[in-house]
Structure formats: structure tokens, C-alpha cells
Amino acid sequence: MTRISAFGDDALGTHDAVGLVDALRAGEVSATELVEAAIARTEAVDPQLNGLVHEAFDHARRRAGVPRPYGGYFDGVPSFIKDNVAVQGWPTMQGTDAWQPRPMRADGAFTRAFLSTGLIPLGKTQMSEFGFNAVAEHPRLGPVRNPWNPEYTAGASSSGSGAFVAAGVVPIAHANDGGGSIRIPAACNGLVGLKPTRGRLPWDGEHAQMPLHIVENGVVSRTVRDTAAFLREAERAFRNPKLPAIGDVTHPGEERLRIALCTKSVVSEASPEMRELTLKTAALLEELGHKVTEIENPVTPRFKDDFLLYWSFLAFATVRGGRRAKGPSFDRTKLDNLTLGLDRIAARNLHKVPVAIARLAASGRITARLSDTYDAVLMPTLSDATPRIGHLDPTAPYEQIMDRLIDWVAFTPLQNATGDPAISLPLAQSASGLPVGMMFSTVRGQEARLLGLAYELEEAHPFPRIAV
């Protein structure tokens, strides 16, 4: 197995983002040195990983040369932005070739919050078309590959961000999650991936217009403290008064938690390997003093059909409204088979959409009731190990893609419907040698609880890293 590593003896070293902030403040490195190192690393590994979709190196250099342009905590730390939020002067293609690229007139709401933290984006990362697939295998650009083994997928839809952070190109990068798209690439690439509570961070235009807000912005990182620090800093730029503050979480939580264990999704039991690895994580939790109780999945099988119908409706709105939203260059013949198949499903079932949305919106009652007995829930992030490139090829027949997708991505969509926070942590490894994510979820507004638990698990079971 050949790993793809960008780590080296340069200004970035093996530091995480918080470590780079410390080095900047100590005068050991400059923002310009960090950006130049990240550019060099991108150029070294992107031909193999294929994670970059829009290059903005000169923009990053200019930003690095301006002393504290935003004044944020991370000022000077290089990063990337996923290609589905608006950045002024950059195109937003959302993983498709269906229209002609055009520069955005202004930063989106999330981009403004992201930039306020001081992170310097080097460009945009590749994603699956509209974020619908759990892998990014663009018919023209090619697949985003896993740096642990390039024969395997890096997951999606925040695919390029996950691959670059794991490979050491940058320590932290933007990701967002409408059905698992932070947690899936975190699991595949051995990263920390936290989907925040609904409304924790601002939405960009198209996400803000959804009838049910299932997409949440966040980051993928190699350490718990980077994710915690990003949320702390983003909260200073955008504070939702309806949610309890996350605050500055810097150490393991002291509370011993009541944790429910579930290895059965609304579709089926996880693979034997995933179940065994999840039970090992449960044993670690019990060694740390937490109480773990195995439960049956409390979600009805109907949830799968409701989520698929709403997912299809989003594709329908995107396809049918493409010309109005993207201009006369929009060409639906350039869309992939998954997007077009979802559009067809919705067109045949539009009359069912309002009821499906209502049931999904009410799904939070299930997890709220569960919280009377348990503080958190442990599940495998994915039902099976990371697949090889081609397993979810978006040019394959729709039925094949969807059957395989539903089997693999069966645990993550629940928290998108409920709005609850969930975090994937790289606590295991598959027989193929790839990282495996374990997912913890809790009730709305309690990200601090998940971060405290994540710190504790990171100390007890240090996360794997790609060798330098």
C-alpha cells in the first residue's frame, strides 16, 4: 500500500492549525512561509490526489503578505474552501460541468464567517456533483483519491478537503454536511469531522432556501483542538442566540456519560467488521468510566424513504431550476446519472414530498426522547469499510449507484434530519489498512459535550497519521 504524504521539513512541518498559530505568534514562521509551503505541498500531491478544483495561489500570497487583514485567531494559517459556497471573484461549480464558470460577485454568509477566523484559502476543493454522492469521481476531472491508499475513495462530498488535510497539505479545511459529507470523508481519511447543530453556522443562499435545512457547514481537521478552536472562532463571527454557546473547549470532559450503542441502521446491520470495531470502541469507553448500553435503532424504516424523497426533491429543484439559477449556459445533459436519477424519482413522487418533509422535521422527537436516558449515541460512521474507486461511479446506472449508496451511507443522514450535532473520530482501522470512523451524536446545541468526549478519546487512543 503506497500512501501519499505531503508532510515535510518546511514551515508547516507536522503541526496542526493551533500549533501553527503558536509558531506564528512566537515568530518562528511567517504567514508567507506557511502559504508558500502549502502551495508547494498542493503542487506535489494534487496530481495524485486530484482534490483541487479552483486554484487561487496568488490570492493567498497577497493575503499572507498583508499583516493581519482580518485579525482572526488563525490569521496566516493556509486552508481550502469546498466548491459549494460563494467566494468573491471565484466560480462556484458545485462539482458539476453543467454551466459555464463565472466569478461570484460577493462572499457568501458562511465564507465571511470562515474568513473572519483568519484562515487563508488557497482555492477550492473538488466535491461530488451537488454533494449528492458519497464519493467524488468526476467524469472529466477524475476521482479524488484517498491518501492512505489511492486505489480507494476519499469519501464525499467534502472529498478534496478530506484528502488534502489527511495528506498534510493543510491542517484544516472547510467541509459541509447534508447527509454525512463532513463525517464520511473524515471517516475515510482518518480525520475529525463534526457536523454542527442546525443553524450553528450561517448558510449560503441555496442552502438557506431549503424547506428543511439539512446542510451544515464546518471543517475537517487532524486534531480535536483544531475543530474546537474553529467553532470557537466562528461563533465569535456568527452567534445563533437560539443555541447554547459552544465556548472554548480545550480539554476532556469530566462527566461520565450514558452512551447508547447501535450498530444497526434503518437499512440493515453494519458489516461484521464495522460491528466488531464499534464494540471495541464501546469497550474503550467503558474502560474510561462511561456506561455503554446496546440498543435497537429507534428510527422507523420509513425514514430511509422520506430522506431519499427529500434528497430527490433537492435534485429536482436543482435540475428544473438550473437555467433560472445558473443562466442560459445550463445544460442538463452534462449532469451525472445520480443527479438525473434523483430528479426522475422526485418528478414521479412530488405529491409525497410535503408529508416526507413533515416527518423528517419531526424526527428530532425520536432523539429528544432518547436523550432522557442517554447522553450520547455511538454508531459506526459508515456501514462498511471504505470502497475502491469505481464502486460508486456516478456514470453507472442510477439503480446500481443508489443501492450501493444506501447500503454504505446508512447511519449519517439521521442527524441531518434532526438537526443534532454528530462527530466522526478515527478510532479504528479496517483490514485493508484504511482508517475507520466512529460516530458520536447528541442532542441539539451540545457540541461541547461531543468535543469533551473527543478530547478524551484522542488522548486514550491517539489517532493514526500518514507517515512523514
Q: At what angle do helices 17-25 and 224-237 cross, to 10 degrees?
A: 70
Query: What would the grid cell of residue 200 be?
Result: 450553528
For the segment 181-195, the average pLDDT, to the nearest whole number, is: 98
Domains and CATH numbers, the chain: 17-460 (3.90.1300.10)
Q: Is the pLDDT of residue 69 over 60?
A: no
Question: In the beta sheet, which residues pair with residue 440?
Answer: 378, 423
For the segment 209-226, the average pLDDT, to the nearest whole number, is: 95
First to last CA, the chain: 15
For residue 89, count other CB atoms closer than 10 A to its CB.
Answer: 12
pLDDT of the residue at 1 = 62
For the segment 91-100, the average pLDDT, to the nearest whole number, is: 97
pLDDT of the residue at 88 = 97
Close Cβ partners of 202 (under 8 Å, ≥ 6 residues apart): 109, 110, 112, 113, 217, 238
Question: In the beta sheet, which residues pair with residue 424?
Answer: 193, 439
Separation CA 12–CA 1 (nearest Å):
25
pLDDT of the residue at 168 = 98
Q: What is the pLDDT of residues 109-133, one digit of tens each?
A: 999 999 999 999 999 999 999 999 9
Q: Give the closest residue to 189 by CA, choosing from 55, 4, 14.
A: 4
What is the SS3 assignment for 80-91?
Answer: EEECCCCCECCC
Close Cβ partners of 32 (under 8 Å, ≥ 6 residues apart): 61, 64, 65
pLDDT of the residue at 70 = 53
Model confidence at 376, pLDDT cuts 50, 70, 90, reads: very high
For residue 354, count other CB atoms closer than 10 A to its CB.
Answer: 11
Q: What is the pLDDT of residues 395-442, one digit of tens each?
A: 999 999 999 999 999 999 999 999 999 999 999 999 999 999 999 999
Q: Give the closest residue to 93 by CA, choosing from 326, 279, 259.
A: 326
Model confidence at 138, pLDDT cuts 50, 70, 90, reads: very high
Sort strands 258-261 and 376-380 into parallel, antiparallel or unpaired.
parallel
pTM of this structure:
0.97
Q: Give the closest residue to 438 by CA, choosing from 454, 416, 449, 452.
A: 454
Looking at 99-209, list the stretches that DSSP marks H as alpha helix, in order from N- to C-terminal side: 109-116, 159-167, 183-189, 205-208
Q: Is the pLDDT of residue 336 over 80?
A: yes
Q: How far is CA 433 from CA 42, 49, 465, in A?
A: 24, 18, 12
Residue 382 and residue 437 in contact, taking contact as beta carbons nearer than 8 Å: yes
Q: Is the pLDDT of residue 97 over 90?
A: yes
Where do the DSSP E strands lie in 106-147? Answer: 120-125, 137-138, 142-143, 145-146
Q: Is the pLDDT of residue 222 over 70?
A: yes
pLDDT of the residue at 259 = 98
Q: What is the pLDDT of residues 255-283, one digit of tens each?
A: 999 999 999 999 999 999 999 999 999 99
Catalytic residues: 82, 157, 181
Query: What would the grid cell of residue 458 be?
Result: 484522542
pLDDT of the residue at 68 = 67
Percentage, residues of the chain above pLDDT 70: 99
